[in-house]
C-alpha cells in the first residue's frame, strides 16, 4: 500500500475504526503490489476548473455565459454562443504556501510552478446571409483544445515532539493483521512494515505478547517527529466539442473529454530521540516513500443553454464519471540508528541500518470518478456586463477503484472505505463582468464544499478572483489573479490500540494563481 496510514481523519471518530478494519484487509496485499487509497481517489476527482483568464476571472462560473473556451469543460452548450472562430492560449504561474501546526509547533513551506492553463481553437460556421433566417440552426460550431483541471505542485511540512505514539506502531499493526511475525507475514506484509522489521525497529513482544509484533521506538520520553511531502504534476483535459445554436434561443453541446494526469510524490517521515538516552536502543528513524503515477481517462459532457429573452440565460450540464486507467511506480526506503543495540554483541558494528526496496513496484489499475450535475443562470445588462452563477453537485462517495483480477477483495474493501469517508457536496461559483467600451473588469468567488463525511476534517476550498481584459474586433488579452484558501486536518498515521491518541496536524493552504490569455478571432 502507498501512504494509506497517512490518513486525513480524526481517530476518535467511530468511522475511523470501521475504516481501519477495511485497511487491515487491504494491508494483506502482498509486498509485490502497490495500490492507491481513498485520498488519491479524491485527488483525481476534485477538479476546480481552470482554463482561460476570463473564465477564471468570473470564478469559473461559465455554465451559462458561454463563448469562452473554459465552457467546453463545464457546459459544452456554451460553444453554441460563439459568433466567430477563435484561437487562444493561456499560460499561468502558481505559488502555494502551507502553514502547518502539529503538537504545538508551527512550520511553513512554499512551492511555485509555471504551466499552461489552456489552449484551444473554436471553428464556427455562423450563418449571416438573409436566407439563414429561414434555417432554425443559426450555427454549428466545433472546438478542440486543452483545459487544465488541477495542479498538484505543493509542499508541506509539519513537526513536533510526541510522547504518545510512533509511526512504527502502525507498521507493527500491519504485521499483527497477518498474525504477528511469522514466515507467512514476513513474505506477505507490505514493504513499509518489512523495512521496519529489517532495521530493528519492530520485533516480537515479550511474555504474553511474544506472538505479536511490537514497536521498539521509545516514545514515552519524547521523539521529535517530522513529516515532509513534496508533490508535482497535474491533470489536463483535452476537449473535443460540438455545439449548435437553434433560433438564438436554445444552445446544445457535447464534449468528449480525454484526461491526462501525472503525479509525483516524495514523502519523508523522521523520528528522532528527544531524550538523549544512549541506552534506549534508539536514536533516529527515517522513512522515505517515492510514488509516480500516470493515467489517462475518458468522459462525456452534455449541456444545454436556454435564452428566454435577451436578458436571461439558463444552463444545465451533466458530466458522466471519468474512467481512468492508472499506472503506479513506487518504492520505499528506511534508515535507523539503534544506539547500542547492535554494539552490545559486536562493539565494532555499525549502529546505522538501511533498507532499500529491492525493485520498483509497478501496478496497473483503474478508477472511476463521480458524476457531476450543473445548473447555471446569467443575467445580462446589455453592453454594461453580466452577473452569472453555477451550482454544481458532486457525490464523492461514488468514486470506485478496480485493482484488477485477483484483487477483488481489496477493491471492495477500499470502495467501502470511500463510501464511509466521503459524501455528496454542493459547489457554488458566482461571477460578474463590467464593460466599458473595449475594457472589461471581472470578479468572482467559488466555494467548493468539503467532500468529507466527517465535518472535523475540513477540506472546503474558497477561490476569490479578479481580472481585467481588453477586446478588439480581431484579438483579445485577459489577465486574472485567483487566490485559493483551504484548511484541512491530517492525522499522520492510524493505530489499532484503543488508547491511541494520535494528534492531528492543521494545514492551512494558500494558493495564488496568475493567468494570462491571448486570443485572435477570425
pLDDT one-digit tens code per residue, 85-103: 999 999 999 999 999 999 9
Position 32 pLDDT exceeds 80: no
Structure-block grid coordinates of residue 66: 458561454
CA proximity to 345, closest of 462, 200, 450, 478 = 200
Domain count, the chain: 1
| pLDDT value for 34 | 54
| pLDDT value for 127 | 63
CB 73 within 8 A of CB 301: yes
Between 119-133, 155-169, 427-441, 490-504, the lowest mean confidence (pLDDT) is in 119-133
Position 130 pLDDT exceeds 80: no
Q: Note whether residue 369 is domain-resident.
A: yes
| pLDDT value for 132 | 54
Q: Note whether residue 47 is domain-resident.
A: yes
Position 435 pLDDT exceeds 50: yes
**Crossing angle for the helix pair 14-27 and 167-176, to the nearest 10 degrees:** 60
Position 436 pLDDT exceeds 90: yes
Higher-scoring residue by pLDDT: 276, 470: 470
Q: Note whether residue 101 is domain-resident.
A: yes
Confidence of residue 394 (pLDDT cuts 50, 70, 90): very high
Position 57 pLDDT exceeds 80: yes
d(C-alpha 225, C-alpha 159), whole Å: 5
Q: Note whether residue 185 is domain-resident.
A: no
Position 13 pLDDT exceeds 60: no
Contacts of 347 (CB under 8 A, 6+ apart): none
| pLDDT value for 21 | 45
Q: Note whether residue 187 is domain-resident.
A: no
End-to-end C-alpha distance for the chain, whole angstroms: 53
Q: Note whether residue 481 is domain-resident.
A: yes
SS3 461: strand
Phi/psi class of residue 464: alpha, beta or left (left: φ > 0; alpha: ψ in -120 to 50)?
beta
| pLDDT value for 314 | 98
CB 479 within 8 A of CB 441: no
d(C-alpha 225, C-alpha 218), whole Å: 13
Q: Hey, how many other C-beta atoms are within 10 angstroms of the C-beta on 351?
A: 15
| pLDDT value for 9 | 34
pLDDT digits (tens, 9 = 90+) for 175-215: 999 999 999 999 999 999 999 999 999 999 988 888 899 99
Structural domain that includes position 432: 14-166+217-521
Between 165-174, 284-293, 448-457, the lowest mean confidence (pLDDT) is in 448-457
| pLDDT value for 207 | 87
CB 313 within 8 A of CB 377: yes
Mean pLDDT of the chain, nearest integer:
91
CATH number at residue 394: 2.40.160.60
Position 396 pLDDT exceeds 80: yes
Confidence of residue 12 (pLDDT cuts 50, 70, 90): very low
Q: Note whether residue 178 is domain-resident.
A: no
Higher-scoring residue by pLDDT: 403, 20: 403
pTM: 0.90
| pLDDT value for 128 | 62
| pLDDT value for 14 | 35
Residue 237, strand partner residues: 147, 259
- The rounded percent of the chain whose pLDDT value lies above 90 is 83
| pLDDT value for 278 | 87
Position 392 pLDDT exceeds 70: yes
Q: Which helix (H) or strand (E) holds 419?
A: helix 408-421
Phi/psi class of residue 291: alpha, beta or left (left: φ > 0; alpha: ψ in -120 to 50)?
beta
Confidence of residue 5 (pLDDT cuts 50, 70, 90): very low
Position 19 pLDDT exceeds 80: no
Confidence of residue 271 (pLDDT cuts 50, 70, 90): very high
Q: Hey, how many other C-beta atoms are within 10 angstroms of the C-beta on 342?
A: 18
Position 16 pLDDT exceeds 70: no
pLDDT digits (tens, 9 = 90+) for 210-244: 889 999 999 999 999 999 999 999 999 999 999 99
Confidence of residue 22 (pLDDT cuts 50, 70, 90): low
Q: Note whether residue 7 is domain-resident.
A: no
| pLDDT value for 107 | 97
Amino acid at each position: 500500500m502507498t501512504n494509506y496510514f497517512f490518513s486525513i481523519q480524526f481517530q476518535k471518530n467511530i468511522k475511523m475504526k470501521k475504516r481501519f478494519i477495511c485497511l487491515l484487509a487491504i494491508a494483506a496485499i502482498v509486498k509485490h503490489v502497490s495500490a492507491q487509497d481513498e485520498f488519491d481517489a479524491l485527488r483525481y476527482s476534485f477538479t476546480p476548473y481552470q482554463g482561460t483568464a476570463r473564465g477564471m476571472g468570473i470564478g469559473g462560473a461559465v455554465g451559462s455565459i458561454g463563448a469562452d473556451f473554459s465552457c467546453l469543460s463545464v457546459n459544452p452548450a456554451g460553444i453554441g454562443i460563439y459568433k466567430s472562430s477563435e484561437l487562444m492560449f493561456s499560460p499561468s504561474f502558481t505559488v502555494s504556501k502551507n502553514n502547518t501546526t502539529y503538537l504545538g509547533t508551527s512550520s511553513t513551506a512554499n512551492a511555485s510552478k509555471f504551466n499552461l492553463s489552456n489552449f484551444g481553437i473554436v471553428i464556427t460556421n455562423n450563418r449571416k446571409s438573409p436566407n439563414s433566417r429561414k434555417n432554425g440552426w443559426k450555427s454549428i460550431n466545433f472546438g478542440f483544445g486543452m483545459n487544465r483541471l488541477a495542479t498538484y505542485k505543493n509542499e508541506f511540512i509539519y513537526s513536533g515532539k510526541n510522547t504518545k505514539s510512533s509511526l512504527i506502531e502502525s507498521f507493527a499493526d500491519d504485521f499483527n493483521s497477518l498474525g504477528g511475525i511469522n514466515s507467512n507475514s514476513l513474505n506477505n506484509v507490505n514493504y513499509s512494515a518489512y523495512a521496519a522489521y529489517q532495521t530493528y525497529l519492530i520485533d516480537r513482544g515479550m511474555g504474553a505478547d511474544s506472538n505479536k509484533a511490537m514497536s521498539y521506538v521509545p516514545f514515552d520520553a519524547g521523539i521529535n517527529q517530522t513529516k515532509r511531502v513534496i508533490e508535482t504534476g497535474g491533470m489536463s483535459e483535452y476537449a473535443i466539442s460540438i455545439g449548435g445554436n437553434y433560433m438564438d434561443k436554445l444552445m446544445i453541446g457535447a464534449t468528449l473529454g480525454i484526461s491526462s494526469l501525472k503525479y509525483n510524490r516524495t514523502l519523508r517521515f523522521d523520528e528522532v530521540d528527544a531524550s538523549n538516552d544512549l541506552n534506549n536502543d534508539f536514536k533516529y528513524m527515517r522513512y522515505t516513500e517515492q510514488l509516480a503515477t500516470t493515467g489517462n481517462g475518458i468522459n462525456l459532457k452534455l449541456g444545454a443553454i436556454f435564452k428566454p429573452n435577451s436578458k436571461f440565460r439558463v444552463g444545465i450540464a451533466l458530466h458522466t464519471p471519468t474512467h481512468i486507467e492508472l499506472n503506479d511506480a513506487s518504492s520505499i526506503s528506511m534508515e535507523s540508528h539503534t544506539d547500542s543495540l547492535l554494539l552490545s554483541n559486536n562493539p565494532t558494528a555499525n549502529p546505522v541500518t538501511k533498507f532499500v526496496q529491492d525493485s520498483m513496484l509497478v501496478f496497473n489499475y483503474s478508477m472511476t470518478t463521480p458524476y457531476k450535475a450543473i445548473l447555471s443562470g446569467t443575467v445580462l445588462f446589455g453592453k454594461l456586463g453580466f452577473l452569472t452563477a453555477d451550482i454544481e453537485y458532486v457525490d464523492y462517495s461514488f468514486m470506485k477503484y478496480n485493482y484488477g483480477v485477483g484483487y477483488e477483495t481489496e477493491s471492495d474493501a477500499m470502495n467501502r472505505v470511500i463510501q464511509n469517508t466521503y459524501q455528496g457536496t454542493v459547489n457554488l461559483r458566482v461571477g460578474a463582468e463590467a464593460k466599458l467600451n473595449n475594457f472589461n473588469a471581472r470578479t468572482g468567488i467559488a466555494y467548493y464544499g468539503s467532500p468529507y463525511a466527517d465535518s472535523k476534517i475540513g477540506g472546503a476550498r474558497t477561490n476569490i478572483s479578479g481580472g481585467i481584459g481588453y477586446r478588439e474586433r480581431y484579438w483579445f488579452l485577459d489577465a486574472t489573479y485567483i487566490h485559493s484558501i483551504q484548511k484541512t486536518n491530517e492525522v499522520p498515521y492510524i493505530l489499532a490500540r484503543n488508547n491511541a491518541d494520535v494528534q492531528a496536524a492543521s494545514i492551512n493552504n494558500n494558493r495564488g494563481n496568475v493567468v494570462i490569455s491571448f486570443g485572435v478571432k477570425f
